[in-house]
A and B are shown apart, each in its own frame.
Chain A
Amino acid sequence: MIKRRHFLRSSAATLVLPFLESVGFRRFASAAAPAAPAKRMIFIAMGYGVTQETWFPDRAQTGPGYVLPPGLAPLARHKEDLTVVQGLSNRYSEDAHAGSTFWLTGANPHEGGAVFHNGISADQVAAAAFGKNTRFTSLQLNGSDTDLSGPGHGQGLSLAWDTRGKPIGGQNSPLAAFNRLFSAETVPVESLRLRLAQKRSLLDTVMEEAKDLQRGLAKADLEKLDEYFQGIREIEVRLAKEEQWQSVPKPKSPLQAPPDGPLGREEIRLMYDLTAAALQTDSTRVVTYRLPISNLLASLGVKVAAHDMSHYNPGERMEASQRRDAANTELLAGLLDKLKAVPEADGSRLFDHTTVVFGSNISNVHNLTNCPTLITGGGAGVKLGHHLVVSKDTPLCNVWLTLLRGSGVELERHGDSSGVVKELIV
C-alpha cells in the first residue's frame, strides 16, 4: 500500500500518473476530474415465492414508519436503505411453473402464437449500456441444485435472456464463478491469439455451410436458420471481446478461492462474496443470481421438499417456508454489509452506486400477483427506507424501467411497462 507520505514526496510526478484507487487521495483542482463511480446492478431471485403471511409488511403501514415483518427482520440494520414494494405483477404470468423465467423480462410467453417466447431481461439491457468497458459484460450466477420436484425457477440457464429471448448461461457454483473471475490464464498470449484466429476460422466454415443450406428453404425455415446465424454472430462478438482483453491480466482476487462443493447457506454466502468481489474489481457491473432452493432447505436441516414447501399450510410445510425466508434475508443482509464496506475512489461506498433487487416472480403457492420486491442500494437514486403499496397489477416492468433509467440507461419501455413508478422517484 502506498503511504500518504510517499505520495506527497513525489507529488510533481503524481499529476501524470493514472488515477490510483489504492492511494485514495483528494484530487487537485488542476487534475482532470475522475469519472464518477460507475453504476452497477444486482438482481437476485428466489424461487417458489415467499411465506405470504410473514414476509410482506402490513399494507396499512406505508411510508418510512412501517414495521419490519418477521420474514424481513434480519434486515433491520439496513431498514433505512431499502424499500419494499407491493402490488406489482407480470401481466402475462399465468403459470406459476414458469418460475423466474419471465421475472426480468415481463414478456408474453405466447406472443405471436408461439409455443414459447421470451424477451430481453432487465439486466441485459443494463449490460448493453454499461458492460462495454468491463471484461465481463455481465455475470450470471445460479444455485447448484437440481431439484427433483421441479426447479422452482422454471426454464432458462440463468435469470438472463438476450435480445432474441434466448437463455444465457452462467456459473453454477462458487468455485466456477471464482475461476471465471480470477483464475489466471495459463496459456501464453501468443497461443491465445492463434486459438482465437482458429476459432474465427471455424465460425467461417459453419457459416459457409449455413449459407449453402439457406438456398431453397421456405420462409419459416429461414427464420429458424436465422437463429443459427445470430448464434454465430454472438460467438463472434464474444471472441472479439476476448481478443480485446487477452493481454490484460485478470485482477488479483480480494478473497480466497472457495472450496468445491459447499451447498445451500454457505454456497449463497460465498456467491454473495464473489458478487461483491466482481463489482469491486470492476470485472463486471451487472450481476444476476438465481438462488438455490432445495440445497438451502437441506443445509437448514429441513426435510420438506421445495415444491411441497411452496404449497404450504400451517404446520411443517409453512415452518419450512419461514425458515427459508429467514435464511435468505439474513444472507442478503450480509451482502449489503459487504457492499457498504467496499470504498470507492471518491470515498463513497460501492453500495451507493449499486442497485440491488431481491424478489421473485411468484408471490406464494401459485399466486403470481404481488411479486415480492425489495430494492436497495443507491445506484438508481430511488426512494429508500419506505414501504410502498402501488395500485394493484402495476407492471413489475415499471420497476425495472425506473431502476434502469435511474442508472442512466435511456429507455422508452421494458417488457410490458406502462411508465415509471412515481412513488419510487425521489
Chain B
Amino acid sequence: MKALASVVGDAKSVLPPAELGKALENFCLEAFRGHTPSPAFLKRLLNVYDDRRSQGGNHRQALTETLALVLSSPRFLYLSEPSGALAGAGTPAPSEPLAPSQNQSSGSGNLSARDLGTRLSYFLWSAPPDHELRDLAATGALLHPEVLSAQIGRLLDDPRSGDFLRPFLHQWLRMDRLDFFRFNNVLFPDFDESTKEAARMEVYETFAHVLRKNRSLRELLKSDYAVVNGVLAQYYKLPGVRGDDFQVVNLPADSPRGGLLGMAAIHGMGSNGEHSSPIERGAWVLRKLLNDPPPPAPANVPQLSRLEGKVLTTRERLVAHQEQPQCASCHRKIDPIGFGLENFDAVGQWRTEDSYERPGQARKTWAVEPAGVFHKGPSFASYHELRDLIQARTEDFSRAFSTALLQYALGRPVSFSDETLVERMVSEAKTQDFALRSFILTLVRSDAFHSK
C-alpha cells in the first residue's frame, strides 16, 4: 500500500499521468511479487483509469477499478512457477553446480530463486515475501544453503509464522471438530465461549512455544509444562496465572496436563458436546499421534439398535463393536485407547466417575476404568501410563507430523514417492531429539521443495 499512499487522495483529486503511472507500476510490482509488469499492461491500466474518469467517475472510483483489475490478474491470483527455459532470474544453469556445503545439502531442483522465495514465504507466513526475502531471491543468493537456512530461521522467529502454525494445526489435527457441536452449557457452565477459545489457542500457543525454543516434538505428547492464559489456568485449576497472554507454567508431577493429550480442546473434539466419544478420541490418537490410521468406517453403518433404550455404562454400550468381526477388526485397536482417555469428560475436565441417564428412566453411575491393552501391544493401568506409552512412540508421531507438514508445504497430497523424504525428515530430526525446526529445515532444503 505504500506504493499507493501518494496517489490515493480523495474523490476530487486530479493527478498528473506520470505520477499515477509510476504508482501503478510500483503497485503491480508488489502485487505480482517482483514480476515487472509489461509496458503494454501498464498502458491498459491507465486507459481503464481514463475511461472511467471520462464516464463521470471520480478519482477514487477510477483508481479502485484500476487496482481491482491488477488484483484480478492471474499473476496476482496464482503462484506461477514457470519451468525450464523461461524461468526467471536466479535459476541455476545446468552446468553450474550450487555452492556445496559440508553437511547441509541444498535441493537441486528447477525452481528459480524468486519462486523458491515465494514458496518459502507462503509456507511459513501465508503471505508474499517481504523485501529482504525478495532481494535475496533476485540476486540468487537465496539458493545458497547458509542463506536459505538463515532465512528459514528469520521467518520462523517472526510473529507472522503464526499464520503458518494456526492454519496448519487446524487442518492437520482436524480442529474443525471443536465447532461441530454446541457444548451443553447446563452440564458444563464453565466451558463457555471464552474458555473454548482459550482451549483452542492452547494448541496453537503450545506449538508456537515448541517452535520458538526449538524444543522436541516429544513434548507435544507429554511435558512437564502447559502453555495457558488466565482463563484456561483457572479452568485447569493451575494457580498464579493472570491475564490474557499465554505463558509457560510448570506442572506438578502428577498433573494430567502437559502435551496434546491433556488439552481440553482435543478432548472437546472427541465428544458430541455432551458425552465423551472414546471412538473419536481413539481414532484421532491412531491417526494423528501414532501414524496408524484405522481404515474408514464402512459406508452407512446402521445404528446398533440391540442396546436401544437400555441404561448402560459406556464400555457396556460399546462392547457391541466387538461382536461383529468386521467391526471388531478396527475397533479392537481404537476402543482401548479411547477408554484410556475416559477420565476426561466432554469438555476435558478430569473425572473419576461417569453417568448416563435416560429421560424419565434410570440413571446409572460408574467409576471410570481407563485400564486397557493396546491391540497386540503393551497394557496400561491408567491414563498416565497410556500417555507414557504414546510418548515412547515419538518416532511414529514424527512420521505423522512430517507427512502432514509435507502436504501443507507443497500443497498436494503425499504420494508413495515422498516416502524417502519423510524418512529423511524423521531420521535427521532424530539426531536432534526430534527438534521441531529440524523437520522444517530438512523439508525446505529438499529437492521436492526446490522443484516444480
User: For the complex, what is the distance from the CA of A208 to the CA of B72, rounded to whole Å?
Assistant: 12
8 Å CB contact of A94 from B40, B47, B299: B299
Convert A301-328 into 0s and 1s, putting 1 for each residue whose CB lies closer than 8 angstroms to a CB of B.
0000101100100110000000000000
If A94-B299, A213-B80, A216-B87 touch, whether A308 touches B74 (CB-CB below 8 Å) is no
Complex contacts, B75 vs chain A, CB 8 Å: 209, 213
8 Å CB contact of A206 from B72, B85, B181, B452: B72
Does A191 sit within 8 A of B, measured CB to CB? Answer: yes
Convert A321-350 into 0s and 1s, putting 1 for each residue whose CB lies closer than 8 angstroms to a CB of B.
000000000000000000000000000000
Complex contacts, A195 vs chain B, CB 8 Å: 55
**A206 in contact with B300 (CB, 8 Å):** no
If A115-B413, A149-B181, A228-B74 touch, whether A217 touches B82 (CB-CB below 8 Å) is yes
If A201-B48, A206-B73 touch, whether A305 touches B55 (CB-CB below 8 Å) is no
Does A210 sit within 8 A of B, measured CB to CB? Answer: yes
User: For the complex, what is the distance from the CA of A218 to the CA of B82, rounded to whole Å?
Assistant: 7
Which residues of chain A in 347-378 are interfacial with respect to chain B, using CB atoms and an 8 Å cutoff? 365, 367-369
- Nearest CB of B to A292, in Å: 17
Which residues of chain A in 184-202 are interfacial with respect to chain B, using CB atoms and an 8 Å cutoff? 191, 194-195, 198, 201-202
Convert A82-111 into 0s and 1s, putting 1 for each residue whose CB lies closer than 8 angstroms to a CB of B.
000000000000100000000000000000
Complex contacts, A205 vs chain B, CB 8 Å: 41, 44-45, 48, 69
Most buried by B among A198, A205, A208, A213: A205
- Nearest CB of B to A285, in Å: 32
Complex contacts, A225 vs chain B, CB 8 Å: 74, 78
Chain B contact residues, majority secondary structure: loop
User: For the complex, what is the distance from the CA of A315 to the CA of B38, rounded to whole Å?
Assistant: 67
Measured CB to CB, the nearest residue on chain A to B80 is A213
Convert B349-365 into 0s and 1s, putting 1 for each residue whose CB lies closer than 8 angstroms to a CB of A.
00000000001000000
Measured CB to CB, the nearest residue on chain B to A211 is B74
Measured CB to CB, the nearest residue on chain A to B76 is A209
If A208-B40, A217-B80 touch, whether A149 touches B179 (CB-CB below 8 Å) is yes
User: For the complex, what is the distance from the CA of A216 to the CA of B35, rounded to whole Å?
Assistant: 15
Convert A269-300 into 0s and 1s, putting 1 for each residue whose CB lies closer than 8 angstroms to a CB of B.
00000000000000000000000000000000
**B74 in contact with A209 (CB, 8 Å):** yes
Does A5 sit within 8 A of B, measured CB to CB? Answer: no
Does A254 sit within 8 A of B, measured CB to CB? Answer: no
**A221 in contact with B81 (CB, 8 Å):** yes
Complex contacts, A4 vs chain B, CB 8 Å: none
Does B61 sit within 8 A of A, measured CB to CB? Answer: no
If A206-B72, A228-B78, A369-B300 touch, whether A149 touches B55 (CB-CB below 8 Å) is no
User: For the complex, what is the distance from the CA of A215 to the CA of B179, rounded to whole Å?
Assistant: 44
User: For the complex, what is the distance from the CA of A101 to the CA of B181, rounded to whole Å?
Assistant: 21
Measured CB to CB, the nearest residue on chain B to A212 is B38
**A218 in contact with B72 (CB, 8 Å):** no
Does B272 sit within 8 A of A, measured CB to CB? Answer: yes
Give the interface residue-count category, chain A. Answer: 35 or more
**B73 in contact with A209 (CB, 8 Å):** yes
Does B379 sit within 8 A of A, measured CB to CB? Answer: no
Which residues of chain B in 296-336 are interfacial with respect to chain A, using CB atoms and an 8 Å cutoff? 296, 299-300, 302-303
Complex contacts, B181 vs chain A, CB 8 Å: 149, 305, 307-308
Does B188 sit within 8 A of A, measured CB to CB? Answer: no
User: For the complex, what is the distance from the CA of A150 to the CA of B78, rounded to whole Å?
Assistant: 29
Measured CB to CB, the nearest residue on chain A to B35 is A213
- Nearest CB of A to B195, in Å: 16
Complex contacts, B55 vs chain A, CB 8 Å: 191, 194-195, 198
- Nearest CB of B to A329, in Å: 25
User: For the complex, what is the distance from the CA of A171 to the CA of B86, rounded to whole Å?
Assistant: 44
**B84 in contact with A305 (CB, 8 Å):** no
**B83 in contact with A217 (CB, 8 Å):** yes
Complex contacts, B80 vs chain A, CB 8 Å: 213, 217, 221
Complex contacts, B86 vs chain A, CB 8 Å: 215-216
User: For the complex, what is the distance from the CA of A360 to the CA of B302, rounded to whole Å?
Assistant: 19
Does A26 sit within 8 A of B, measured CB to CB? Answer: no
**B359 in contact with A315 (CB, 8 Å):** yes
If A206-B69, A206-B74 touch, whether A216 touches B180 (CB-CB below 8 Å) is no
8 Å CB contact of A148 from B38, B84, B179: B179
Complex contacts, B376 vs chain A, CB 8 Å: none
Does A77 sit within 8 A of B, measured CB to CB? Answer: no
Measured CB to CB, the nearest residue on chain A to B79 is A221
8 Å CB contact of A213 from B52, B74, B84, B85: B74
Measured CB to CB, the nearest residue on chain A to B300 is A369
Does B77 sit within 8 A of A, measured CB to CB? Answer: yes
Does B51 sit within 8 A of A, measured CB to CB? Answer: yes
Measured CB to CB, the nearest residue on chain A to B85 is A216
Does B273 sit within 8 A of A, measured CB to CB? Answer: yes
What are 8 of the A-B contact pairs (CB < 8 Å)? Answer: A198-B52, A201-B48, A209-B73, A213-B74, A217-B80, A221-B81, A307-B180, A314-B359
Please give the residue numbers on chain B whose beta carbons come within 8 Å of chain A beta carbons, in ascending order: 38, 40-41, 44-45, 47-48, 51-52, 55, 65, 69, 72-75, 77-78, 80-87, 179-182, 272-273, 296, 299-300, 302-303, 359, 413, 452
Ranked nearest first, the 10 interchain pairs of A and B with the lowest CB-CB distance are A216-B86, A216-B82, A305-B182, A205-B44, A210-B74, A209-B73, A218-B83, A315-B359, A213-B74, A94-B299
Given A201-B47, A201-B48, 11 other A-B contacts at CB below 8 A? A148-B179, A149-B180, A195-B55, A198-B51, A202-B65, A206-B74, A209-B73, A210-B74, A213-B80, A216-B87, A225-B78
